[in-house]
Structure 1
Amino acid sequence: MAVVVMVAGAFVPAAHAAPGQAVFGTGSAALAQDDPVRNPVGKATILFERTTASKCPVTFRIHGSFEGLPDDVQLVRYRVVGTEKWRSVKAPAGHGGAFTAVLQTFTWDWETAETSVQIEIKQPDGLVSNVLHYFKCGSPGEDETFGETTGNIGLTASGGPLAELVADAYVDAVQALSGAEVALVSRYGFHTDLDAGPVTSEELWATQSAGLAVDVHAMTGAQLKNILAYPNPQGWVLTPSAALRYTLEGGAVTEMTLNGVPVTDTQVIKIAANYILMGGWQGFPRWEGTTSVYHGGPDDMAALASYLVKNSPVNAPAGDRVTVR
């Protein structure tokens, strides 16, 4: 049984969609009328929110965010790819061209066969969503691939480009629902580079085999500096997602910026990571004194898989977010 890891992504045309299947009216009086020439949804994302403490069995919600809609009342019809039943959600008048709603709630257990979720939009151009993966209740097939890379994404002694990629995947998986600004990753448990070309399930397992849930905590800039400055026994550093850069010098963080702006000791930052890192079990200090913000994220391996599929082909990050002097 598999759980879906919801990662955000843009809707793209579905080659199999039949023309003339739109059920989008203009105004409330026309909501149930067929209008085969309109494609009201210009862009959409789907997001994953786990609502149970257990990772499997699990109950989770799919949130849908739709952009480009005309500003009057709109009925968006959709279904989970692979099922027959169409569902609908109504965007009220005055939504400003964007609308977000919970689309569906799922409960998966060990007997459920799915490991991913995708949404199809019922309109003439047949939009389908990004694929969202979740592997805590089920494993990917041996021959399954998850996007591709344009070149080798290397793992270094301190993390390097591969750890940066994983950090980007973490924050992408939870940012929209939690407000996370940054993710942190330890290279603990990573075993191999991602080779150029299609990313196999074997490579995913070698990268994030523990299947740990991604959570979000809030902390001050001063607390963050203390965590980043801690000397790991192996000489590793914590790798941030793209928004954060820092410099280690003489056992202390001497420079740190968030989105290019220096971080102050008092500002509060929401940070995503797997709960084992937060708990102090990967050779770095426990996140004591921080505030829990969000426990609805997917497992870490599925967050990476969803990010790779969404952004394929993926380039290697530069591996330069941490400077050690």
Structure 2
Amino acid sequence: MSRRTSRLTGVTIAGIAALAMAAAPAIASSGSGAGDGAAKGVKGPHGVLDIQLLSFNDFHGNLEPPSGSSGRIVVGHAPDTADVDKDKNTDEPADVTVDAGGAEYLASNLEAARKGHPNTLTVAAGDIVGASPLLSAAFHDEPTVLAMNKLGLDVTSVGNHEFDEGYKEIQRLADGGCINDGDGANNQNSCPTGSFPGASYDILAANVIEKSSGNTILPAYSIKNVNGAKIGFIGMTLKDTPNIVTASGVAGLEFTDEVKTANALVPVLRSKGVKAIVVLIHQGGTPAKQPWTNPTSGNAYLANPTYDYTCQGGGNLTEDSAILPIAKGLDPEIDMIVSGHTHQPYVCNVPDPAGKDRLVTSASSFGRLFTETTLKYNFQTRDILRGTVEATNMIVGRDVKDPIQTALIEQYKELVRPIASKVIGHITQDVLKGGAGINAGGESQLGDLIADAQLADPSVVTGGEKPVIAFMNPGGIRADLTYATSPYGEAPGDITYDEAFTVQPFNNYLVSMTLTGAQIKEILNQQWTGSNAGSGKKILQVSKGFSYSYSGTTLGPVTLNNSPLVDTQSYRIVTNNFLQGGGDGFPSFLKGSNVYYGGLDIDAFANYLTSFNPTGYTPGSLNRISGS
């Protein structure tokens, strides 16, 4: 596999200012070594060369096979005779799934796919790290970078989660080196083996600019030489990244328009003799539902699409898919788009500005799928023959483990055990974020627990003033707490730090602030307006004593301790720094005054669970949020 040279920033490309206009900052290329790339495979003919491109996205540090629905892929449908969703309708469709994903199996599947393809590259579209299981997160995602090195990743774009610990951290993961984090302070430990070499693959961030220098924080593009065929890769994250990550993670950065940025780089690549161009972008689409007819009753339904339905099986992306206007606006010189972010599977043709079909792919998430693309490169035109580009999403079956990945996982499982296996609390029954654990208004058992933990955390008390309301974003609740789960042999109901971390894996800080009653109502209305309009509502989870109702997009009564919230009165609230920074489409949190940063959300969660020992925590009635 080709190796990365050291990161270069602030490399000015002479003579392209007029072409790039405002969309092109000072651009960091991947340097002369990685930029020209090591030739792969045997020398091909001077006419046409067959090339294989393997791609995936949104791996999120899932070294071990992901569990639950996160570890399954929909392959078909059958009547819900077991009434899986408990809605008493056994005629409707239930998903037929297979288990998939995990680094050991992704690596072995990629290796098997490469056989017979001497001219091959492996690429990704961001969120390789971040929101990771503890096995990776406890070591600042260094194990995931090592896993990507070993499975042969050549180049990836950044995604929004690459900024979870700030952009300096993703630069460190690219270049190597250790963090002096106190050898396990805050349950994290950089370089537990003594060193960290960094990524052997290129990490690209064409549309992420450091405001102070005007330079991209990482290379904007990478040129790979495959047996004499030069292919340029432009890597970007979604321009709205600041709205979905913590403010501190993107402080001092500017995220430029995806289309303008990529189009401005086309003449840059052409000036280097590169006409074959692929965009790796961390933005995606949503497949439309799949029609299904019950073979017995003949009743028609809409079902979750299978992994191969969109678009090859007759499906399509919904019209509001964010990737569509990007795909339609990218320069016709760009030959293919590898996308991500939405964790969805699709292989679709979207017309470019010249009306010519262009492939757009996404391979679900967590290593459950990869996309195999084959294409032909014409040496005479130095370009990809667009009509030869064909792609298929492939399931990462759990049949054969890659022994190199297994060894890496086993090494870090031993290193993380002292942190992961510590029992911190007890539950008397399942505490769920969805299904039977959520009401019609969107309030969940686990949302109640986390919000109450935030409210009880002493680290956010300042000047003797305690918060009276806590808010938690539902997207930050990543897993259930289940009574029977015992990953380290602990008693049923015992909750380990590993289990708690899986619920809240972001290491966000808790932040207290003062808001007026009117501002709190603004926030509640933003659950279904602004960027959240039409998104199915983002229902914030709230702490005990606070309640509200809504009907459609109309907010009803809002009370605190059974008294109506007063618009002109000030209230001390607590949330995480993601929401405090206006994340998830809640900009009114930015209006808070007397902002005070406390400890980590995972620490508050763990400490609150501990406070219920020895009897354990039992979820209460879901009576804080009502609506439909």
State the TM bucket, normalised to the shorter chain. Answer: 0.5 to 0.7
| Larger RCO, structures 1/2 (Cα 8 Å, 6+ apart) | 1
> What secondary structure is seen at the aligned counterpart in 1 of 2:578?
helix
Partner Cα separation in structure 2 for residue 207 and residue 169 of structure 1: 13
Match of 2:591 in 1: 289
Percent identical among aligned pairs is 26
Residues 1:161 and 2:463 are matched in the alignment? no
Q: Is the 8 A contact 1:194 1:203 kept in 2?
A: yes
Q: Is the 8 A contact 1:186 1:237 kept in 2?
A: yes
Q: Is the 8 A contact 2:443 2:624 kept in 1?
A: no
Deviations 1:106-145 (A, max 9, x none): xxx612445xxxxxxxxxxxxxxxxxxx546797612111
Q: Is the 8 A contact 1:277 1:286 kept in 2?
A: no
Q: Is the 8 A contact 1:214 1:274 kept in 2?
A: yes
Partner Cα separation in structure 1 for residue 554 and residue 519 of structure 2: 12
Q: Is the 8 A contact 2:516 2:568 kept in 1?
A: yes
Match of 2:522 among 222, 226, 239: 226
Q: 1:159 to 1:258 in 2, by over 3 A?
A: closer
Match of 2:610 in 1: 309
Partner Cα separation in structure 1 for residue 444 and residue 623 of structure 2: 8
Partner Cα separation in structure 2 for residue 228 and residue 187 of structure 1: 13
Q: 1:176 to 1:292 in 2, by over 3 A?
A: closer
Partner Cα separation in structure 1 for residue 512 and residue 569 of structure 2: 16
Partner Cα separation in structure 2 for residue 147 and residue 262 of structure 1: 35
Q: Is the 8 A contact 1:170 1:273 kept in 2?
A: yes
Residues 1:173 and 2:457 are matched in the alignment? yes
Q: Is the 8 A contact 2:517 2:567 kept in 1?
A: yes
Q: Is the 8 A contact 1:183 1:271 kept in 2?
A: yes
Larger radius of gyration: 2
Partner Cα separation in structure 1 for residue 443 and residue 501 of structure 2: 17
Residues 1:239 and 2:310 are matched in the alignment? no
> What secondary structure is seen at the aligned counterpart in 1 of 2:476?
coil
Partner Cα separation in structure 1 for residue 589 and residue 507 of structure 2: 20
Q: 1:290 to 1:176 in 2, by over 3 A?
A: closer
1:164 positional shift: 0.8
1:274 positional shift: 0.4
Partner Cα separation in structure 2 for residue 302 and residue 137 of structure 1: 16
> What secondary structure is seen at the aligned counterpart in 2 of 1:247?
strand
After TM superposition, the score normalised by the length of structure 1 is: 0.56
Residues 1:320 and 2:612 are matched in the alignment? no
Q: Is the 8 A contact 2:181 2:188 kept in 1?
A: no
Q: 1:288 to 1:141 in 2, by over 3 A?
A: closer
> What secondary structure is seen at the aligned counterpart in 2 of 1:305?
helix
Q: 1:193 to 1:159 in 2, by over 3 A?
A: farther
Q: Is the 8 A contact 1:164 1:240 kept in 2?
A: yes
Match of 2:553 among 251, 271, 284: 251
> What secondary structure is seen at the aligned counterpart in 1 of 2:558?
strand
Match of 2:477 in 1: 190
Partner Cα separation in structure 2 for residue 187 and residue 269 of structure 1: 22
Deviations 1:306-325 (A, max 9, x none): 00001231111323211114
Match of 2:430 in 1: 152
Structure 2 spans left out of the alignment, 5+ residues: 1-179, 191-415, 484-492
Match of 1:266 in 2: 568
> What secondary structure is seen at the aligned counterpart in 2 of 1:311?
coil
Structure 1 spans left out of the alignment, 5+ residues: 1-108, 115-133
Partner Cα separation in structure 1 for residue 476 and residue 570 of structure 2: 29
Larger helix share, 1 or 2: 2
Deviations 1:79-118 (A, max 9, x none): xxxxxxxxxxxxxxxxxxxxxxxxxxxxxx612445xxxx
Q: Is the 8 A contact 1:135 1:301 kept in 2?
A: no
Point out the more displaced range, 285-294 or 252-261. 285-294
Match of 1:211 in 2: 507
Larger strand share, 1 or 2: 1
Q: Is the 8 A contact 1:181 1:271 kept in 2?
A: yes
> What secondary structure is seen at the aligned counterpart in 1 of 2:467?
coil
Deviations 1:55-98 (A, max 9, x none): xxxxxxxxxxxxxxxxxxxxxxxxxxxxxxxxxxxxxxxxxxxx
Point out the more displaced range, 168-177 or 298-307. 168-177
Partner Cα separation in structure 1 for residue 563 and residue 603 of structure 2: 31
Q: 1:288 to 1:160 in 2, by over 3 A?
A: same
Match of 2:601 in 1: 300
Q: 1:198 to 1:309 in 2, by over 3 A?
A: same
Match of 2:182 among 84, 108, 111: 111
**In the alignment, residue 213 of structure 1 is paired with which amino acid?**
Y
Partner Cα separation in structure 2 for residue 195 and residue 152 of structure 1: 4
Q: 1:143 to 1:164 in 2, by over 3 A?
A: same
> What is the number of equivalent residue pairs in this alignment?
198
> What secondary structure is seen at the aligned counterpart in 2 of 1:298?
strand
**In the alignment, residue 587 of structure 2 is paired with which amino acid?**
P
Q: Which contiguous aligned blocks of 4+ residues in structure 1 show a shift greater than 6 angstroms?
A: 136-140
Partner Cα separation in structure 1 for residue 445 and residue 511 of structure 2: 22
Q: Is the 8 A contact 2:419 2:498 kept in 1?
A: no
1:234 positional shift: 3.9
> What secondary structure is seen at the aligned counterpart in 2 of 1:248?
strand
**In the alignment, residue 211 of structure 1 is paired with which amino acid?**
N
Q: 1:225 to 1:135 in 2, by over 3 A?
A: farther
Match of 1:17 in 2: none
Partner Cα separation in structure 2 for residue 159 and residue 247 of structure 1: 11
Residues 1:278 and 2:574 are matched in the alignment? no
1:176 positional shift: 4.7
Q: CA RMSD in A?
A: 2.4
